[in-house]
Amino acid sequence: MQTIKRGSKGEAVRKMQRLLIAAGYSLPKYGADGTFGAESESALREFQSDNGLSADGICGPKTWAALQAKGAGETIRRGSKGEAVREMQQLLIAAGYALPKYGADGSFGAESEEALRKFQEANGLAVDGICGPKTWAALQAGDEPGTEHFKLREFGCRDGSAVPREYWGNVRALMAELEKIRAVWGKPIIINSGYRTKTYNQQCGGAKASQHLTANAVDISVQGVAPSTVYNKLNAMYPDQGLGKYAGFTHLDLRGYRARW
């Protein structure tokens, strides 16, 4: 894992935050938001000092190793309560195992157990309804969207922010369509813009209700293919979605009704 410190952003930060939470170092204000701020730094220093590491607030190789050992160490089961339970529930939900009645309430009840058992079964784990080291590892690693030719990080905001977990479903849907588009020409697709934070969207003059804000849109170009050719093809492929024609790229979004500009 890469070395991260205050100011770092992205999936590695989110992973460190999840491990801190699972190890019992709560992040009550921001949770695992993927941004390494004061709250994360203070929790990390505490973790380092409790584990005989130099408390420098920087997550380097030694701290990563300790976090991975401890963070996956808290085994939780029916009746458990607290931040680690909430984290497990959020990971279950993100992986597509809905908790419709109670959501991520931090209390490990029958609903959570049933969802966890389904997750374990689908992931080739022992189906015991107990979240131990192996199940934690599968939960933390197994749910990131990805296809043969597209990775989640390609959809990240240009300002360095990762796509928030709540929009990963949108990214999955876009990836499926992008694979179809890629197959038309058999050439790589370059994603010029995917998810945008509100701030970044304002800076680049995006529409106020832009589909990019929820990672439901991509601006793409296809290597070696004229943007007008791409637009014409997508115009035929997506009669009931959003399409924008630009000089250097084509905007596609999956809004679910026809829009053209």
The residue ranges that bind Zn ion (CB under 5 A) are: 217, 219, 251
| Secondary structure of residue 57 in the 3-state scheme | coil
| Closer Cβ to Zn ion, 30 or 246, answer by number | 246
C-alpha dihedral (90, 79, 42, 69), degrees to nearest 10: -90
Q: What is the residue type of 27?
A: L
| Closer Cβ to Zn ion, 118 or 233, answer by number | 233
- Cα-only R_g, the chain: 21
| Closer Cβ to Zn ion, 73 or 244, answer by number | 244
C-alpha dihedral (117, 118, 124, 125), degrees to nearest 10: -10
Rounded Cα distance between 120 and 113, Å, is 10
| Closer Cβ to Zn ion, 134 or 233, answer by number | 233
Picking from 162, 132, 144, 153, the residue whose alpha carbon sits closest to that of residue 95 is 144
Residue nearest to Zn ion (CB): 251
